[in-house]
Structure 1
Amino acid sequence: MADMTVSAARSRLADVIDDSRAHRAPVFLTRRGRRVAAVIDAEDLERLTEAAEDLADIKAAQAARAALAEKGAVPWDGVKAEVGLA
């Protein structure tokens, strides 16, 4: 049960949720043949969200390292002046 219309899911929502949790796979809801939403196990969503946040942090760290390698370090006095603490 990978795809299901929204109206069909509405009439058997508990079954859709149970199926998604039991198979650890999303059930995609469609409208006019297009996927518009998905029912996914809450624990799976939390794991996916954490993984996406970790990847975003890794990319930000890589960008910061690249900027440091390209431009060099900023002196502490310069940082303080930039934020108005000098």
Structure 2
Amino acid sequence: MSEPAAELPISDARDSLADVVSRAHYAGRITYVTRRGQRLAAIVPAEVAEAIERAEEATDVAAARDALARIEAGDRPIPLTELRTDLGL
């Protein structure tokens, strides 16, 4: 079972990084690194980050398959120049 998430000011995290990383690895603790009370980043167990990456990849693959299916069904692909214009780039 993992420990509850913790918050740690960045100055303290700097001084105890090895301990924070060990708690993430061995105890499954998520530690939010803060500055003036605002969360800036999180130190998480590698398994958590890897699971997020796998989920994002699966979402990207599903979106690509959906786009290809729409094109095969007759939808017009959006040219890159048009997409940039629509996005204001």
Give the unaligned 5+ runs of structure 2: 77-89
Partner amino acid, structure 1, of 2:72: L
How many angstroms does 1:11 deviate by? 1.4
Structure 1 unaligned segments of length 5 or more: list them: 73-86
Write the mapping of 1:68-79 to structure 2, written as runs, cut at 5 A: 68-71=72-75
Q: TM-score, normalised by structure 2?
A: 0.66
Output the CA distance in 2 between the equivalents of 1:55 and 1:21.
Answer: 27
Please report the TM-score for the alignment, with normalisation by the length of structure 1: 0.68
Change (3 A) 1:68 1:25: farther
Higher helix fraction: Structure 1 or Structure 2? 1
- In structure 2, the residue matched to 1:34 is 38
Q: Identity percentage over the alignment? A: 32
Per-residue deviation, 1:23: 3.4
* Deviation, structure 1 residue 67: 2.3
CA deviations over 1:64-83 (Å, ceiling 9, x no partner): 112222349xxxxxxxxxxx
Stretches of 4+ aligned residues off by more than 4 angstroms: none
State the Cα RMSD in Å. 2.0
Distance 2:63 2:75 in 1: 18
